[in-house]
Structure 1
Amino acid sequence: MPGRSPRHSKAIHISTSRGRKFMFRDQFRGAGWLTLAITSSVFATTASAQQTEPDVPQAKASGTTLGDIVVTAQRREQRADDVGVTINVLSGDDLKAAGTQSIVDLAAVTPNVQIKNVMANSITNVSIRGIGLNDYAVNNNPAAGIYVDNVYLVSPAMLTFGFYDVDRIEILKGPQGDLYGRNTTAGAVNIISRKPSSVIDIRLEAGLGSYESWHLDGAIGGALTSTLNARFALQTIQQGSGPQTNYVTGNRIGKVDRTNGRLQLQWEASDAITMLLNLHKGYDRSDTALYKADNVLTTEEDAYADQPRVAGAGTDPRMELESAGASLTVNWTLAPRLSLTSISAYEHFTRLHAEDTDGTSLVFLDGTYDDRIDQYSQELRLAYDADDLKLIGGAFYSRDKVQAHDEFYALDLLPLLGLAGLDTIGNNYRQRTDAYAAFMHGEWTVAPRLTLVGGLRYTEERKTFDQATTFLCAAGTCNDLFAPVSNRYSTSNISGKIGLNYKAGDRTLIYASVSRGFKSGGFQGQLSFDPSVLQPFDDEKLTAYEVGIKTRVAPNLQVNAAVFDYEYSDAQIYGPLFDSPIGVLFGIANVGNARVKGAEADAWWRPAAGLDIRAGIGFIDTEVTKSVVAGVMKGSVLPNSPRLTLNGLAKYQWAVSDRVDADIVLSGKYQSRVRFDIVRSPSEAVEGGYFVGNAEVGVSVDDHWRASLWCKNIFDRLYRTQALNTSVGWTRQYGDPRTVGVNISYRY
């Protein structure tokens, strides 16, 4: 099962004479591991993509020639060699081969990308090239735009879904300031489902694994009538146990109960009009991950200090997530070179997340988060496609409402703060956002090999933040600390890009671009004792300079590389930033400016029929160049930005007989030292470098049946995915230990 990551820090900081540091040393030992990471476990990033015949087993490919990579990153089908943007593309089969089950796992198959759950296992942060959102509040927007079937998701709480029946995932690096809807300082992630077609397509998979886990995946598609195609996909993941133990109750923690379904109907209304209806629904009623605490108010957990996966909780924490949505995409060919696209979408999401933040049997911080999100969006695009000029222009509108009720049962903590007789502290708020945008993107071939690329987007956002207050309760009676706050924030911004694409050969593209993106400001959704803290923070802005190359060096070798330089201003950082009479409060603010420089490269090599070796490397250097808050030091590195990442995959498939094929897959990831938090420079928030490797062995019969054995974290590497400071001290979370399992699948 995918690794779990913890929530970020919250609430109040209490100074104490008792404190311990839990430091990890970099255990990435020796050049042998580095060689393994590069040669047999570094995954195909940009080159690992959908081929023109998706999902065809590679051993069945013609000789050693690599197929074309097709993307829709610029809202139209293009060969990846022709797109002057750094894109990591992963087909559905690529994802399965690397053991990728959720958005968190994407970090293991792409360089310069960090993805983690900042709050137990129900708030996700995506950082690309060091730019991300390290906040646990549901009202803030991701710094990387996340799109599922072309629909933007407004909250990081909505990103905990699993992958099923995925056609491909496209990860765009850097600000996407023209074609993408909102908040893309880091980049954009497009998750694209398999679409209905008239061809009968049946896919089934069942599997068993560690911790009493099992899963069922299924999809069926085909023609219902001569003009109507359908596809239905369903996934359920169940797990009866887990790698953690609650020392208070004695129970194993890590149970999973998650089911998702999707129905798509595609109607060819005429030769010129096609409509696609997407209906989806899912739930997740799993255990909430435990926090491994170094609690400064008790020594209770000291007896388990050397057992990283043993932690405490007064009760076994649980969560209930539910999502449902619908989208309608209409493509209308108005003329041979002119087409109109309309995407209308609605998403509904609810979240009840209960956890024991203090990691002991005591009632210091037993948190419950009760949230509801509703969003509607509408996009219209008009596309003109001529031989030397391609234009895409349009408008975008979205409206979302976030309602949050957070409370912390703190019967044993509040008396220590001078609040005897009280048992609960919490906060409420509602946020409504209206976003408008108009955009234009163009590509003009000014010479046979030279194309000028340009784009511009005007965005306006209006946010209303109201019903915001902090409350204290005693025996079920609650009182607000201050009158509910009501405030507004509005912003307008012009973003975009300009670039040159030079075709040095039929399969070689050299590109250079300057692009600008922004992430809108807003309001912090964390607990506060001071209503003045609930003032808006401003937009952050990023200007990126990038030069890259994509080349088919030989028919069996694809190489891509890019270098980049970012100017990052008014960076939005979360942490213990606000002082109060009772200590430091946590929140989000504009902390100053930073720079990011780096490079990345990847290669896809097929030296022999059936053998694919894919390798990628990423390097980034980040530094805060200007700080406007006391808690962030000039010269600090940005959070979640390891200097070096290596990730990849090696697969060999061979014929055993006329009907039977066998395959073996080795994959993995290495990342260097990383800092989870830079506010007040805590040494506890530093994790050393580590390597995680995976393996799978499979047998296929008649191109229909396949059975496989897999192992994730094959070397049983112990590593932290997060460290956070809370009102009771530092807590931390770890990646999953070694897990094994078996899968059986059928395709027709």
Structure 2
Amino acid sequence: MTTFRPLSLAFASALFASTPQAASEQDTQSEALLPSVTVTAEFRESNINDIPSSISVIGEHVIEQRNAQHLEEILSLAPNVNYASGASRARFYQIRGIGERSQFVEPLNPSVGLIIDDIDFSGLGNAGTLLDIDQVEVLRGPQGTQYGANALAGLINIKSQDPTDTPEARLEASVAEYDTYTLSAVVSGPLSDSLSYRLAIQQQGSDGYTENDFLNRDDTSDRDEQILRGKLRWNASDKLTIDTTLIYSDIDNGYDDFSLDNTRHTLSDEPGHDRQETTALGIKATYEINSVFNVEMVTSYVNSNIEYGYDEDWTYSNICAGQPCDGWEYSSFDNYIRDRQTATVDFRLVSQADGRWFNETTDWLFGLYYQDQSEDLKREYTYQSQDFISDYATDRSAVYGQLETHLSEKLTLITGLRLERYTSDYQDNDAVDFDHDEDLWGGRVALQYQLNDNGMIYSLVSRGFKTGGINSNPALPESRRSYDTEHMLNYELGTKWSLLDNTLQTQIALFYQLRDEVQVKQSILITNSDLSTEFIDSFDNAAKGNNYGLEAQIQWRASDHWQFEGSLGLLDTELKDFVNAEGDDLDGREQAHAPDYQFSLASTYYFTDKLSARLEVEGKDSFYFSDSHEERSDSYELWNANLTYTEANWQVALWGRNLLDEEYQVRGFSFPNDPRKFYITEPYYQYGEPRIIGVRGSYSF
């Protein structure tokens, strides 16, 4: 598992050993023009420069250059997007400082939506794998019209490659340090004149980045991930197209990442696990009724079996034998088994060219939505007299609509509204029984002005919501057993440009978000008589919150050989009128997982049409891990690189991430857990990926 800094420095230097003068004598990989980027997460697929909101799109080329296998390995490229680990993968995401960070006993309603091929995976972050992905779209700000309650902060939309009309296939393999490997295969093509398919499969494994000194193992945080995706496109007639997607993922990862010594060396005698087996089916039908309107229907079903468990004491039972702390140690294991099922139907009417209203100035759309979700939990915990059992069921039904009115040749008004009915039912074997229902509404009003063929400015006001709920632990006082719905108003002003003959594209957005009844997660630490500790988690409401900042993105094709990309996110957040569960007054404090700045900068150089190199740096400011304690992450910068050679049907790449082996934290806590120090309160961290260098090869035919 040993890696060396000189190796990574030599690797980075080799990427740019050739000079631009030498390269200018070669053929180039592509023309200087930047490709058009289409966003698929909107009601109507549109060019990113024509959408009046802040959006990032991360394409397949960047995913490939990073050898990224999961969302956590690319999200830093999108400004003001963060994630929380506390597991084998990043399971929870934050956009503009808003989003969950963990889940244990309590029911959870996500703030950040996760959609994969039109299937709702919100709250199932382990599913964010990147096998055969076309692009990842990050929509910032509330998506109250289209997605409702699960997209208060924004949405992450993953779109995989579509079936092709001509046969194609690809085999790919990569190997890297820490016994990391990936094997994948993709095959696509026609089955008949009207039916085409695509099938992708992947096996990924790694020993992980932890060494367990007690068990003398280096694989207690291993990764064993299998992904299968099948897609069918049936052109049933000239007017009817049916797309079917089947996804199966079997993630069986270890979880042993926290150490009493805050290193990558652990002492656990019962290493944890992070497992998720998911089967998902999605069907999208588009029927062109006539030139007036189309009918679209998206239905999906997701079944996930999730098991997440960890060694709570992070050590072995006799760690204090023969020491002054003898008798102070404890031993416990905490395990959560969830069975979650989600069924969704989304039906909409979409106007076409001849269906415009008001003297052919207004495009329109109307939709009906229904989702039924259930989640059964069993918690197996050493210090419980019996397993904890709970059932949580929610129903969401909504009607929504959007108008796009062309007030003039250059000025467009977009208005959207969603009315949603939300009901939930919670029961557990601690005799907690809670029903909740409410009517919610969200939407947006945007004004877009096309300055010329190359640039536009926009202003946007949008409203999002996130439903209230129940705190399940009966040890909480009655006053803290439930929490209220959060609402947010988002004000945004932005501009988008395509300049220098479409060799330079920019986006800049200023935003200000007013949050009302901010949902804040709290944890109360209880020390039992046997010296074991236990957290009681709950959600509370802060009266107000403010989130505001700037987002900027740029792509520049400087020449036939050079391309640059960059992003910058500036963020300022605060809580208003909030006292946490420990009695600390947090009025005016920054919100958790909301760094003041994030940035990324990448340069790609095309030596020839066969050889290219990419060098990246990304950085992030420090941030609070929680609203329950004062611990913060360190600020950091990570360097990544890639050298790719392509010849006919095959390709080989040398890649590296975190080349300077920066130590950075992706999750943090503060509590007493070390018997050797007689349980003084200390910070504990989970660290992000260390330096890793690997080789990838692929063959297409």
CA distance in 2, matches of 1:539, 1:727: 33
The answer to whether the Cα contact below 8 Å between 2:498 and 2:505 also exists between their aligned partners in 1 is yes
Question: What's 2:35 paired with?
Answer: 67
The answer to whether structure 1 residue 457 and structure 2 residue 386 are counterparts is no
The answer to whether structure 1 residue 250 and structure 2 residue 201 are counterparts is no
Question: What's 1:711 paired with?
Answer: 656
Question: Which one of 254, 260, 264 corresponds to residue 231 of structure 2?
Answer: 264
Question: What's 1:133 paired with?
Answer: 100
The answer to whether structure 1 residue 650 and structure 2 residue 650 are counterparts is no
Q: How many residues align?
A: 644
Question: What's 1:90 paired with?
Answer: 58
Q: Which amino acid aligns with 1:596?
A: N
The answer to whether structure 1 residue 176 and structure 2 residue 176 are counterparts is no
Q: 1:693 to 1:374 in 2, by over 3 A?
A: same
**In the TM superposition, what whole-angstrom CA distance separates every residue of 1:406-444 from its partner, at most 9, and x where no partner exists?**
12224xxxxxxxxxxxx7675321100000111001111
CA distance in 2, matches of 1:427, 1:103: 32
State the Cα distance separating 1:71 from its structure 2 match: 1.4
Q: Which amino acid aligns with 1:211?
A: Y
Question: What's 2:396 paired with?
Answer: 435
Q: Which amino acid aligns with 2:254?
A: D
> Structure 1 vs Structure 2: percent identity of aligned residues?
23
Q: 1:584 to 1:269 in 2, by over 3 A?
A: closer
The answer to whether structure 1 residue 349 and structure 2 residue 304 are counterparts is yes
The answer to whether structure 1 residue 408 and structure 2 residue 353 are counterparts is no
Question: What's 2:281 paired with?
Answer: 326
CA distance in 1, matches of 2:525, 2:295: 49
SS of corresponding position for 1:287: strand
CA distance in 1, matches of 2:506, 2:263: 41
Q: Which amino acid aligns with 2:612?
A: D
Question: Which one of 365, 369, 382 corresponds to residue 332 of structure 2?
Answer: 365
Q: Please, what is the CA RMSD of the aligned residues?
A: 2.4
Where do 1:665-704 residues align within 5 Å? 665-679=614-628, 682-683=629-630, 685-702=631-648, 704=649
Question: What's 1:101 paired with?
Answer: 69
Q: Which amino acid aligns with 2:519?
A: Q
The answer to whether the Cα contact below 8 Å between 1:196 and 1:222 also exists between their aligned partners in 2 is yes
**In the TM superposition, what whole-angstrom CA distance separates every residue of 1:606-662 from its partner, at most 9, and x where no partner exists?**
11113210011110111112226544510110001110111132111222xxxx711
Question: Which one of 250, 261, 268 corresponds to residue 283 of structure 1?
Answer: 250
SS of corresponding position for 1:320: strand
Q: TM-score, normalised by structure 2?
A: 0.88
**In the TM superposition, what whole-angstrom CA distance separates every residue of 1:366-420 from its partner, at most 9, and x where no partner exists?**
111111101100000110033632212101100011011112224xxxxxxxxxx
State the Cα distance separating 1:111 from its structure 2 match: 1.2
Question: Which one of 552, 570, 575 corresponds to residue 498 of structure 2?
Answer: 552
State the Cα distance separating 1:316 from its structure 2 match: 2.8
CA distance in 2, matches of 1:511, 1:432: 40
Question: What's 2:489 paired with?
Answer: 543
The answer to whether the Cα contact below 8 Å between 1:661 and 1:699 also exists between their aligned partners in 2 is yes
CA distance in 2, matches of 1:139, 1:197: 41
The answer to whether structure 1 residue 637 and structure 2 residue 610 are counterparts is no
**In the TM superposition, what whole-angstrom CA distance separates every residue of 1:566-588 from its partner, at most 9, and x where no partner exists?**
10111111122599999973222
Q: 1:596 to 1:319 in 2, by over 3 A?
A: closer
SS of corresponding position for 2:72: helix
Q: Which amino acid aligns with 1:517?
A: G
Q: 1:59 to 1:329 in 2, by over 3 A?
A: farther
Question: What's 1:48 paired with?
Answer: none
**In the TM superposition, what whole-angstrom CA distance separates every residue of 1:652-700 from its partner, at most 9, and x where no partner exists?**
1222xxxx71111112310112111122xx33x2122100111111111
Q: TM-score, normalised by structure 1?
A: 0.82
**In the TM superposition, what whole-angstrom CA distance separates every residue of 1:552-576 from its partner, at most 9, and x where no partner exists?**
1212111110101110111111122
SS of corresponding position for 1:175: coil
Q: Which amino acid aligns with 2:417?
A: L
CA distance in 1, matches of 2:399, 2:363: 17
Q: Structure 2 unaligned segments of length 5 or more: list them.
A: 2-11, 17-26, 318-329, 354-359, 674-680
The answer to whether the Cα contact below 8 Å between 2:87 and 2:274 also exists between their aligned partners in 1 is no
Q: Which amino acid aligns with 1:599?
A: L
Q: 1:579 to 1:370 in 2, by over 3 A?
A: closer
CA distance in 2, matches of 1:390, 1:610: 42
The answer to whether structure 1 residue 447 and structure 2 residue 394 are counterparts is no
SS of corresponding position for 2:564: strand
Question: What's 2:357 paired with?
Answer: none
